[in-house]
């Protein structure tokens, strides 16, 4: 398959043993409750060159007795302690969405349940958890406390146990979407989506995250003044990407180029993954050309 033939939201690319493994949210089952839960799951696409991809390989299918029956969102696969951990958002009617962790021995899966329930606070609607491991080796989940609960659009962190089995701290608020200067004046939904952590060549800790500006899905950057997860986090004034695309992440390709992948357009059943080369200036990130 060519990348333009893949309908996928929230792309996440893992580079492993000289191959690219791309995960994401299935467009066709992203939004509604599924009566047939066997349709719910996650796939991986495999490539040697970021242009030609395998057919989707299912890495996780709803096991039948799983609590969620909708919104299988934003799978990310992280290598940690010699295993592959998949962080993903799940939801069900009458419950709050949250991020739960799966585990596998190979990037093609099969992934199995690692935590019995989401590690994000169950009393909050939460989504898009990602893994961040600090210089001391302490793992954290960075996640979004959804804008529908309180209206500010919040990104938080929680410390995880070393085996990624449980949260071992209370959530710490890192930033609010309502505080940015680039919002459209008529904004009513201060959305936070898809946080992703990145340390620049000069050691600055950045957070990429997505929101809405008017009807456009955009990608923003915040910077930790302390260089640690605790912040304080300062919003950069210029948007990283503003042409109706986002929920992006960064990876190094086989030529050691820094690459940004995201989905666009942000409309149902038409989303494709895209790839841009990125310049790391030491202070921030700049888009170069689409690949």
Q: Using an 8 Å Cβ cutoff, are 18 and 254 in contact? A: yes
Q: What is the pLDDT of residue 150?
A: 83
Number of domain units in the chain: 1
Average pLDDT score, the chain: 96
Nearest Cα to 50, choosing from 186, 221, 284, 254?
254
The pLDDT score that the predictor gives to residue 133 is: 98
**pTM for the whole structure:** 0.96
The pLDDT of residue 227 is 96
Q: Kindly report each contact of residues 196-201 with a partner whose C-beta sits within 8 Å and lies 24 or more positions away, as own/partner.
A: 196/130, 196/248, 196/249, 196/250, 197/130, 197/132, 197/142, 198/250, 198/285, 200/280, 200/281, 200/282, 200/283, 200/284, 200/285, 201/280, 201/282
β-pairing, 8-16 with 83-91? unpaired
* CATH label of the domain that carries residue 124: 2.115.10.20
Model pLDDT for residues 118-141, shown as the tens digit of each residue: 999 999 999 999 999 999 999 999
Show Cβ contacts of residue 264 under 8 Å, excluding neighbours closer than 6 positions. 217, 243, 244, 245, 246, 271, 272, 274
Residue 84 has pLDDT above 90, yes or no: yes
Q: How far apart are CA 2 and CA 51, in angstroms?
A: 6
pLDDT of residue 161 exceeding 90:
yes
- Residues 277-286 have pLDDT tens digits of 999 999 999 9
C-alpha–C-alpha distance, residues 71 and 31, integer Å: 6
Residue 13 structural domain: 3-290
3-state secondary structure of 275: strand
Q: Could you tell me how many residues make up the chain? A: 291
Which helix (H) or strand (E) segment holds residue 290: the answer is strand 285-290
């Amino acid at each position: 398959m060519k990348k333009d033939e893949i309908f996928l939201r929230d792309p996440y690319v893992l580079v492993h043993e000289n191959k690219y493994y791309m995960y994401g949210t299935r467009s066709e089952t992203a939004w509604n409750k599924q009566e047939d839960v066997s349709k719910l799951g996650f796939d991986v696409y495999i490539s040697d060159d970021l242009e030609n991809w395998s057919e989707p390989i299912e890495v996780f299918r709803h096991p039948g007795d799983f609590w969620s029956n909708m919104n299988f969102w934003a799978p990310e696969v992280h290598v940690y302690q010699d295993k592959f951990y998949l962080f993903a958002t799940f939801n069900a009617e009458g419950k709050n969405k949250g991020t739960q962790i799966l585990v596998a021995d190979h990037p093609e899966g099969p992934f199995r349940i690692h935590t019995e329930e989401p590690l994000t606070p169950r009393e909050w609607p939460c989504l898009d958890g990602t893994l961040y491991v600090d210089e001391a080796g302490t793992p954290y989940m960075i996640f979004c406390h959804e804008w529908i609960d309180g209206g500010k659009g919040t990104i938080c962190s929680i410390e995880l146990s070393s085996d990624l089995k449980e949260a071992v701290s209370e959530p710490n608020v890192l930033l609010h979407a309502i505080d940015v200067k680039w919002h459209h004046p008529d904004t009513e939904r201060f959305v936070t989506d898809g946080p992703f952590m990145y340390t620049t060549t000069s050691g600055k800790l950045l957070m990429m995250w997505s929101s809405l500006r008017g009807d456009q899905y955009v990608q923003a950057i915040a910077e930790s003044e302390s260089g640690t997860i605790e912040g304080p986090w300062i919003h950069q004034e210029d948007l990283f990407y503003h042409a109706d695309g986002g929920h992006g992440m960064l990876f190094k390709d086989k030529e050691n180029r820094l690459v940004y992948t995201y989905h666009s357009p942000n409309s149902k059943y038409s989303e494709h993954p895209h790839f841009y080369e990125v310049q790391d200036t030491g202070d921030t990130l700049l888009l170069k050309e689409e690949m």
